[in-house]
Amino acid sequence: MTTISANLQAVRARIAAAAELAGRAVEDIRLLAVSKTFPPERLREAAEAGQRAFGENYVQEGLAKIDALGDLGLEWHFIGPLQSNKTRQVAEHFAWVHSIDRLKIAERLAEARGAERPALQVCIQVNVSGEASKSGVSPGDTAALAHGLAALPNLRLRGLMAIPEPTDDMALARQRFAALRALRDALNREGLALDTLSMGMSHDLEAAILEGATIVRVGSAIFGERHYA
Ligand SMILES: *Cc1c(COP(=O)(O)O)cnc(C)c1O
């Protein structure tokens, strides 16, 4: 067994244990393997161990891996900051985008996706930590963005994503994740049908699952420590 397949097994066991504690069905929680900085061979190992969905943060790096691993039929999620000059490449090559925080970016993605393809699945990134984080729309501006986005063609708004500030305080982590869930529930009461909460990473996936995460985005616990060039 390779390190990556053993790590994947351990992460799946953590997800199952947290789901059980939360009284939730484990099938309702998807594992997204976050593979930024790792070469295609490591992703191939993860795919051989049964992993289907991969998350990438940088457009050029992601496209190179999508190309290198095109034989595997994997599902690609874009989870990093997105600039308007990269929207076409993302709309053409990814199935999901988790990190939308401006309507202008969503409009460009919708136009580039076109009507011939299945809708691009998207989440709005919300800044649930206030000053401590720079990315994401503020909770107060989320409803306006969600309604604007839901009206666009070629995109399907699935839910909300957050990256709370890192903390060892389980209670604080749960509070941030609960805030994202409350925001999603409020939008659903306003008539949207959002089924996705993309929240929880290697160090806090248990807290996220206890608060309703439907996609956990896990990098280092699967692939090991990242080294940035
Ligand atoms: C890198 C990254 C992750 C994974 O983080 P780990 O701590 O390595 O699990 C998840 N989500 C986003 C948006 C990331 O950039």
- 194: domain CATH number? 3.20.20.10
Exposed / middle / buried, residue 145 (Cβ in 10 Å: 0-12, 13-18, 19+): buried
Q: Is 226 among the domain residues?
A: no
Whole-number Å distance between alpha carbons of 216 and 197: 9
Q: Is 229 among the domain residues?
A: no
Q: Are 213 and 181 in contact (CB under 8 A)?
A: no
Q: Is 60 among the domain residues?
A: yes
Q: Is 228 among the domain residues?
A: no
Tens digit of pLDDT at every position of the chain (229 positions): 789 999 999 999 999 999 999 999 999 999 999 999 999 999 999 999 999 999 999 999 999 999 999 999 999 999 999 999 999 999 999 999 999 999 999 999 999 999 999 999 999 999 999 876 678 999 999 999 999 999 999 999 999 999 999 999 999 999 999 999 999 999 999 999 999 999 999 999 999 999 999 999 999 999 999 987 6
User: In the chain, how many domains are there?
Assistant: 1
Whole-number Å distance between alpha carbons of 40 and 69: 7
- List Cβ neighbours of 111 (8 Å cut-off, separation of 6 or more): 154
pTM for the complete prediction?
0.97
Tell me the residue length of the chain: 229
DSSP-based three-state secondary structure for 114: coil
Atom in ligand 1 nearest the alpha carbon of residue 99:
13
Whole-number Å distance between alpha carbons of 121 and 126: 16
Determine the residue of 177, 201, 225, 226 to mutate for testing ligand 1's pocket, defined as the one with the most ligand atoms within 8 A of the Cβ atom: 201
- Please give the residue range of the domain that contains residue 44: 3-202+211-221
* C-beta of 220 in contact with ligand 1 (< 6 A): yes
83-88 long-range CB contacts below 8 Å, 24 or more apart?
A: 84/108, 86/59, 87/112, 88/112
